[in-house]
Amino acid sequence: MNPKVILVVEDDYLNRRLTKKILQENGYQVLEAKNADEALKILNKELVDLTILDINLGDGEMDGISLGKLIQNKQKVPFIYLTAYENAKVISEAVATSPYSYLTKPFKNSDLVASVELAIIKSAKEDKPKPTILVKDGEYKVALPIEDINYITSEGNYLLFHTDKKTYKCRSTIEQILKVLPSLSFIQIHRAFIVNKNKVEKFNSKSVIVGNVEIPLSKKDFPNNLSNMS
């Protein structure tokens, strides 16, 4: 099973690194952002399972509650607050954005881990739309769930999206599609091939196996990228 991806949005470097360390020790993959702009760029690119928001993100920056509202309305990613604020007004404003939990600093490591686990379990039970990409199925366009893609091959001016059931087509280039796909899951291993790292069955220095298909490997950093996913 692939580790859950958690985005930590915290302006204080030491607090951000401490939170990351605790989460990594408990098997989570962690992304970091020090302000709302960085967080939104990550959320628009990567497949994130949970976001941890500090409420105070620095002078002149969007605060965590405002960011929580954006996430609630657009990204639909579950989030929890981790903050030093304890006054009733701030708590009331935070609760109105429907967080999955609210933790105050300083916190116990066990409380953080428990809040994260409960939030992920609760989120998994909700019926949420899966991220998709628009492709062609014959003469029709369909929304293909990104997680269903095994690998992508380049064919002239088109890309072929291979899934367990069938192959879809899209007019695009490798460079263009890499800007859309979450980089935590997809990697270019050859000038004409992109693979979903979550679907790789085995690999060596020359090729990778995805769905019983052998794909040539020319990007030498692939083994390191794959090990980072485990």
- The arithmetic mean of pLDDT across residues 154-168, rounded, is 93
Please compute the mean of the pLDDT values over residues 83-109 and round it to a whole number.
87
Q: Which of 7-11, 29-33, 69-73 has the lowest mean pLDDT?
A: 69-73
In this model, does residue 153 exceed pLDDT 80?
yes
The pLDDT of residue 85 is 75
Q: How far apart are CA 116 and CA 190, in angstroms?
A: 37
pLDDT band, very low/low/confident/very high, at 3 (cuts 50, 70, 90): confident
Residues of the chain with CATH 3.40.50.2300: 5-124
3-state secondary structure 132-171: EEEEEECCEEEEEEHHHCCEEEEECCEEEEECCCCEEEEE
**CA nearest to 157, candidates 165, 169, 149:** 169
Verdict on whether the full-model pTM lies above 0.75: no
Of 107-111, 129-133, 136-140, 212-216, the one with minimum mean pLDDT is: 129-133
Mean predicted confidence (pLDDT) in 130-145 = 89
Would you say residue 221 has pLDDT above 60? no
pLDDT the model gives residue 230: 40
Answer yes or no: is pLDDT of 214 > 80.
Answer: yes
Q: If you average pLDDT over every residue of the chain, what do you get?
A: 88
For the residues 99-106, what does the mean pLDDT come to? 90
Domain covering 5-124 assigned CATH 1.10.150.20 in the classification:
no
Residue 78, token pair as written in the block: 């579950």
Backbone angles phi and psi of 198, in degrees to 5: -70, -15
Q: Which CATH architecture has domain 132-227?
A: Beta Barrel (2.40)
Q: Is the pLDDT of residue 146 over 90?
A: yes
**Residue 215's pLDDT is what?**
92
Give the per-residue pLDDT at 220. 63
What DSSP character marks residue 97?
Answer: T
CATH 2.40.50.1020 domain range(s) in the chain: 132-227
Q: Residue 208 burial (CB < 10 Å; 0-12/13-18/19+)?
A: buried
